[in-house]
Structure 1
């Protein structure tokens, strides 16, 4: 006998309809009415032939004539209904004889579910057949699904268990024998905790419904093995039922442990595994022995005392840390550790709580960074020396120029004394003095307390000085000062910042150029924008702007913009340069707070 799966695959496209009538013209009429790509019409002219097809084919519905020679329709229906395989097939009687009540009653007693009297209405017949076919398809689908579930349950390696709200086992599949050693009948009506201890604590917990839970399971012989379980809920007849799949993951755990062992041994980090029960060492790797100054595993394993002294120097200064105090995992915590030989080394400590063979453990990993820290310190020292060398070279170069001029005029003064020579030498000495002063401004830290000031007021105070410089060089200055909140600043430093940027802008323009000084409030920042109409700054040198002794001006030192960058940095701000062939804009962003009062002047627009 074919299984439901085979039947489903064979007849998925068409369904069989059996037509039984001893008159060919009646069969022809039925075939014309019911002809469809979805139906396979089987026409026979006797009850005997109908019985043969019922045994061979999967029939969806039977249209059966009542009055036939030999075995009539009533007897044929009774024989079909008496067989287990065919008793569910719906039978519709088609007859042209009397519609008397006793005749119809006999038909229903024979197993018919409907009566159609000749002459029949074609559309009515087609609609009835379509309805029965739909019912047949639903039944076939249910049978197919049940068969799939049965085969899956019998062949699945995982154990499937259903149990009620009290934990009493309702059903299980044959896999329980191989996995747990119980026969199916032994486990029915037992509590689920018999095979998965403490499983009932997950009942009704939406967090665990449908998720995979790693736990341990218990065999009949009391041996324990690691298992992955998954719980689902179902409601059958108003009763809540839990469906649980149990998978033995012993082999997977062994593979994971072997992989962990290889990583444990091969990593250059110091790795140790300790029991949380009494803090004895379960295992350490080779790197741990090497860095800690020990030679043999026997010196460490099963020892509860920690041979290393751990010193944490983050946050609250240096403190001694006991590994037993790390009840919560840490990640890359900066520590120093003192090894057996008394050497103080540096590292990054990470810990993780884990369970190994039923025992709670602490896995600690120390990444030794002693050599890296030494290299970083040496690189920082070399960088400082390099910077000092570069700045010293720049200072020598800049100061040498005025000294050379002074020396030349002093030699000339021996033969041709002149007050003009003295003025030039004084000017050159002042120039050398300014270079040294700017250099000191770049290098020194300013500890002056900041005050709440409005940037617009600082700009207005400096405006006459900037205006005078602009008029002397045949330039114009526009102010566009919007309403801005007060910010915390060192006023003297901000004045120097504004003057340096403004004078640079004036020097970058040819005659009749306009310098625009603008302020506005944007995204919790006060923005100072100083825009010139010069030829712009080339892209390849923008990143170098602000470096000491780098300047695009013929006689510039680059210290002015270095001072600007330092001032902005001390105010937790940032500088952005926007440049094109139409001019350059220096944008300075100062952080501010929304609750500060706005400046007294709401808006200024001066065109000079």
Structure 2
């Protein structure tokens, strides 16, 4: 135990506690040991052979922000897992102390502390048998010291300036990477070499003298410049700031490459001479005044504008010479002189009847003024402004959409017409890419772009995209023109083509209906007469006794003749000039009410509901038979589009000055192909259809001065029949 006490005493001495004698320690062992242990500035822990904590002092617990009571009985490596366990085991085995310096450690449970660095000593305390009784573990946190050293090292490495350490004889001891970056020498090329060997011959003596004179008094050398030879043989100007340290026998230098600055200073000196020559040769007017507003310099151009010679102006007071100077200019000049901030402005000089562009610059001696005649430019700007206002008026009020775009397709400006067409604001359009405005899948685009590239302009048709995703066909004209900065811009004019396309489609449909009607009117009687004769003879033969075995065949032939007759009747209904097309004043609601039982009966067979909403509408001139056929065609189309349990809605209403009949189903809607071709004679989606039903409806609507519109979607289709008030009785 005595050896253990001696070991602990040795450790405590290292912790800056001093004991006057071993005897005193042994005599008062419990109290003194406890006091020394707890008050030591070093972190100390006593561990058993298995590295379990027996006791730690306050400094040890404080190093980990723990309490002293948390440690006893706990294993060191449960708290601080690391590869140092092998060292601890070595100390137990060898019974020899082990010291570590600046060992890195990361707290697993508190990684925000980052990497910490520790100096520590692990000393074994032996019992009377010479075996390790316990371990004394003392450590010191050197994280700040190591981090400071690392920071200095990083600074040394990353500095853009050269950092050089040399002895008093000029022999290089160390340089940073900037030495290579600036002069081209690798570190190995200069270590041990003398700095003076690289100095330009003309600068060698001043350099040596400055270096030698600084050493005795350890005086810093600041901003000493000399030329230094680079590895490629060229020379650079360097600026040295050095401090000799007598105790170390070393000189520490920070060296900056000032070659560009030296060259720039030389150029500046030459430039100043050139400025005087330039001021006389420039076309701009120039004059300078001192702080008392006396003219110190005026070039020939300015003197000519002022109507005096240079000799007459130099030395004269500006305001006395020109008492009628523009008050605005007067205020501007005084502001520049007072605030020492340059100003640029345009002003009309009434004294010389010119518009001038003025640049006023403060100087330490007064004020320098450049100005030029901009009268012609001002007149042109006025004309340009008037032109821009006319263009802006045309741009904003055009019924056609107009876009101004960059070469990449991004929008610079958009008028209200194009905004309304696309359902977006001008700001939204300017923030969109072209692919969000134009349907790039349109196959006409590549040809249009090619033509515009060759000719500089193009007229064509394409599709644009509404904000809600709707594809809109448009006519467009596009032309390239140069922008103010020389960049090629594009003007695009767009016109909604939906009405034109719709009108063209309607004309084509009417033309087809008219053709079919004329054909039907021309051939229906010629076909019907022989068919009627054939049907009559078939009925006679069917009634004969010897033909009874073929009765089913006769019935089949008669039914097919009746079906052919119904098709011919459909043809006839397409003819414009029907003899029985008479109009009578009556109400559409009345026709619907008479027809409702038949519609309801058809619906009940299919387990479909019928909902009616009859509005207050005026009487109209109608052909009841044709209107009945129109309604039955529309309702039966609706029935065929729906499933059992769904509802068909028949509605009449007034909108503006039109009477509207609407038939709405709850089917799955129509495809774009069906929607485009519906109403075309012989177009049908039904296996046994003739393709005449909707064609007949359009024909009847036309003969009643009405039109049919269709809205369709995934939730169903609605047919709208718009009766113009011209048909109202």
Greater C-alpha radius of gyration:
2
Same fold by TM (over 0.5)?
no
Instruction: Give the TM-score normalised by the residue count of structure 1.
Output: 0.35
Instruction: Give the TM-score normalised by the residue count of structure 2.
Output: 0.30
The structure where helix makes up a greater share of residues is: 2
